[in-house]
Structure 1
Amino acid sequence: MSYQQYPPYGQAPPQQGYGQYPPPQGQPPQGQYPPPGQYPPPGQYGQQYPPPQQGQYPPPQGQYPPPQQQQGYSQQPPHPQGSPYPGYQQPPPGQYPPPQQPGYGTPSPQPPYQQGGYQQPPPPQGYGYQQPPPQQQPPYGAPPQFGGQPQGQPTPPSVGYGPPQIINWDAKPDATALRSAMKGFGTDEKTLIRVLSRLDPMQAIAVRDAYHKQHKRDLIKDIKGETSSWFEKGLVALAQGPLLHDVSLLHDAMDGAGTDESVLNDVLLGRSNADIQAIKSEYRRVYGHSLESKVKGDLSMKTERHFLMVLAANRAEDSAPAIPQDIDRDVTEVYKATEGKMGTDELLVCDILTHRNDAQIRTIAWQYSQKYNATLESVIKKEFSGHMEDALLFQIRHACDKFMHQAMLLEDAMSGAGTKDHLLVSRVVRFHWNRADIPQFKAAYQKWRGKPLARRIKGETSGDYEKLMLACIDE
């Protein structure tokens, strides 16, 4: 199922919905926020999202934030009106919408911090963001077209993407168990699943190193020799760890005739600058040439330019604030590059969505729907096509609701005629590395599809392959 086949908000069966939000009464004028004490009107949004008590800041997870500070936009703008996730009904333009995330059981946000001279709540912990320490941030400003330098404190690399580390954990017992499971006649698949599916990224690297030191053998080669098919692919992905697996996926996606564009989107889009730099460095180490040169050889024209922007790793850091005047400028520029002219300035739109962080993209999407009465996604679908359209939609959806987007990606791998097993394995394993997120995207899938993700996976897999995928999502 392609992205375009997902029904828009409000068209999913009610029982599979994402929460119903009847339009609030007493709309404020277009572009204005409700005055203090009237946000939102009591009882308008149902029992699932009760309004906070007066003066409570920040509200408990799942409740609405307090009125906007005048000096700046929130770092957590809501879903843009008409966003593609089914079952969600957005209030008409001019009404302040529900919060950007339905919660999915995330812990309550941490206390607000000072940023850019005004106070705003940090992103929820479940988003995977690294919380910046309190600091004064200048506006990120207007970067030069098709480039520019990000501002804000650098986002640390994801676990497994940073410099080599020695962890306080003994990998020898797991290395011994894996060797015993593959030594002699037959293979103990249960042990392979049990050991590899419970490792975090740093432990996976430690086990691989310990296996080589203890047994003078290559763990990945042994797994390939003892297992087969998609069960083998899943075990190898876990043994590689997230960074090595990413570069392996990129190499395979661009090897031979054609390019697996979905893999390029999965691995490269929505990543921090630190992660992109780590991926480029590891790719060169493993394959002996730059990732940029490979992308130039496989992509073409403006899609090539888009991904070279991504690989330049000049994205605004997560700590860079969403400054109102800069957001307004970006919204206007996107409009002028798309609906506001004959033809489309594709590279300007790619530049904006590639060089802004997730909080800024969420704000741009919301402000665009308010200012022009059209969703940013609908504009992308109308003005773009092919791989560039899918890539831009990926960047928007990742920023607007990470967990629902993950749920959609998993469904995309299982829908239609036949299972896209290479995408199912890579996406399950990738999401598995951040264990704190697993309950979030499982709950998002349950809300969207009305049934557990585990049941869906069981219907598309079997045997040891099924057991491994379920173990990766803690089932």
Structure 2
Amino acid sequence: MASIWVGKSGTIQNHPGFNPSEDAKAIQKAIKGVGTDEKTLIDILMARSNDQRQQIVREYKAVAGKELKDALKGDLSGNLECLMVALVTPPAVFDAEQLNKSMKGPGTDEKTLIEILVSRTSKQIKEVAQAYHTVYKKSLRDDISSDTSGDFRKALLMLADSKRNESEKPNEQMAKTDAQVLYNAGEKRWGTDEDKFIEIFCLRSIPQLKLTFDEYRKLSGKKIEDSIKGELSGDFEDLLLAIVKCVNNTPAFFAKKLNKSMKGAGTDESTLNRILVSRSEIDLLDIRAEYKKLYGCSLHSAIQSDTSGDYRTTLLRICGGDD
């Protein structure tokens, strides 16, 4: 059965002739003793799919008697450690950890909450919510609820319930009706009926929303994102705009986030790691193409000039070729 975490445009694929127990032994040897053989770690882990890495994780525990994640944490440090640990984590657990981190402690990292919940499919969100409960013994819903408020909370909770329709075939009549509802709820009235926006944006399928936004433009003479900017504000506005961006072009949505993570002084490694790891088997090739189109340089060269050492080597291996 095809994994819901594997798409058609990933940069990382299954390694032919894969032998998990040999890999686990080689990794144990690379970590054991004084100093670490980072090259072996990178060569093995970067040439295996996540599914294969999970088999290595199981084998490693059998031969070394401890979790590979803990061994990597004890042996590496900084950005390379974070990246390597992310690579040996199952995708749903990785997303759950990122969501938890965005809500932990004082303050909330709304951008990460939005990025993950808006860009994952309903099936993926379902798995993430299960993983969240397994790891933290709490429900994702409860944590979102206690950490956010207002319409932003309502929309996040609807997304977390993973009720978005996944059908590929849009319905033209429904698109016309929804466009009219959105127009009546926003542009046409004094104040905005946010609930209508939440319902349509968080429950309709992606192809359906695409058609609805086209109809909206015909009806109102403006793009839906311009109406959102004019009618709404704050995190709720950011969330709806992120949905529009994902509906229009998900790879471009990620390309822009990657560019932002490397722009200016300092690098936002946590965003860089999260996007490269989580999209490496789904659509990273498409993201690379959009990056080149948008910024005139390759994602590879941007990473090259913004990072260094083994961390850079690992990121470049995830990124794949230079466009």
TM-score relative to the length of structure 1: 0.63
Q: Distance in 2 between matches of 1:270 and 1:445?
A: 17
**1:440 matched to 2:289:** no
Q: Which residue pairs with 1:422 in the alignment? A: 270
Map 1:277-296 → 2, pairs under 5 A: 277-296=126-145
1:417-474 Cα offsets, whole Å, 9 max, x none, are 422111111111111132xx33221111111111111111122211111111111111
174, 178, 186: which one pairs with 1:338?
186
Q: Which residue pairs with 2:219 in the alignment? A: 371
Contact 1:361 1:400 in 2 (8 A): no
Q: Which residue pairs with 2:13 in the alignment? A: none
217, 231, 234: which one pairs with 1:386?
234
1:152-188 Cα offsets, whole Å, 9 max, x none, are xxxx73349xxxxxxx953112211211111111111
Q: Distance in 2 between matches of 1:453 and 1:270?
A: 20
291, 310, 314: which one pairs with 1:464?
310
Shift of 1:347: 2.2
Q: Distance in 1 between matches of 2:265 and 2:218?
A: 39
Q: Distance in 2 between matches of 1:412 and 1:335?
A: 32
**1:202 matched to 2:48:** no
| SS of equivalent to 2:175 | helix
**1:187 matched to 2:36:** yes
| Number of residues of Structure 1 aligned to a counterpart in Structure 2 | 311
1:132-160 Cα offsets, whole Å, 9 max, x none, are xxxxxxxxxxxxxxxxxxxxxxxx73349
Contact 2:24 2:56 in 1 (8 A): yes
Q: Which residue pairs with 2:11 in the alignment? A: none
Moved over 4 A (4+): none
**1:276 matched to 2:122:** no
**1:158 matched to 2:158:** no
- Structure 2: which 5+ residue stretches go unaligned? 8-16
Contact 2:267 2:306 in 1 (8 A): yes
Change over 3 Å in CA distance of 1:367–1:270 after alignment to 2 = same
One-letter code of the match for 1:241?
P
Q: Distance in 2 between matches of 1:231 and 1:366?
A: 44
**1:356 matched to 2:213:** no
Q: Distance in 2 between matches of 1:420 and 1:385?
A: 25
One-letter code of the match for 2:105?
G
1:272-307 Cα offsets, whole Å, 9 max, x none, are 222111111111111111111111111112111111
Map 1:256-335 → 2, pairs under 5 A: 256-319=105-168, 321-335=169-183
Q: Which has the higher helix share?
A: 2
1:232-269 Cα offsets, whole Å, 9 max, x none, are 11101001131111111111111100111121122221
Q: Which residue pairs with 2:295 in the alignment? A: 449
Q: Which residue pairs with 1:220 in the alignment? A: 69
Calculate percent identity across the aligned residue pairs. Answer: 31
Contact 2:119 2:250 in 1 (8 A): no
Shift of 1:317: 1.4
| SS of equivalent to 2:218 | helix
1:90-137 Cα offsets, whole Å, 9 max, x none, are xxxxxxxxxxxxxxxxxxxxxxxxxxxxxxxxxxxxxxxx9xxxxxxx
Shift of 1:412: 1.9
Change over 3 Å in CA distance of 1:369–1:417 after alignment to 2 = farther
Q: Distance in 2 between matches of 1:262 and 1:195?
A: 32
One-letter code of the match for 2:309?
G
Q: Which residue pairs with 1:211 in the alignment? A: 60
One-letter code of the match for 1:440?
D
Shift of 1:371: 2.0
1:378-412 Cα offsets, whole Å, 9 max, x none, are 11122222211111111111111122222112112
Contact 1:159 1:202 in 2 (8 A): no
Q: Distance in 2 between matches of 1:318 and 1:208?
A: 35
| SS of equivalent to 1:269 | helix
| SS of equivalent to 1:401 | helix
| SS of equivalent to 1:184 | coil
Contact 2:172 2:211 in 1 (8 A): no
Q: Which residue pairs with 1:20 in the alignment? A: none
- Structure 1: which 5+ residue stretches go unaligned? 1-129, 131-155, 161-167
251, 256, 259: which one pairs with 1:411?
259
Q: Distance in 2 between matches of 1:292 and 1:423?
A: 23
Contact 1:315 1:357 in 2 (8 A): yes
Q: Quick check: 278-287 or 173-182, which moved more?
A: 173-182
1:308-328 Cα offsets, whole Å, 9 max, x none, are 111111111133x21111000
How much is the aligned-residue C-alpha RMSD, in angstroms? 1.8
Change over 3 Å in CA distance of 1:318–1:170 after alignment to 2 = farther
Q: Distance in 1 between matches of 2:172 and 2:277?
A: 38
Shift of 1:189: 1.1
1:343-376 Cα offsets, whole Å, 9 max, x none, are 1112211210111111111111222122211111
Determine which structure has more spread, i.e. the larger CA radius of gyration. 1
| SS of equivalent to 2:119 | coil
| SS of equivalent to 1:374 | coil
**1:400 matched to 2:248:** yes
10, 23, 26: which one pairs with 1:177?
26
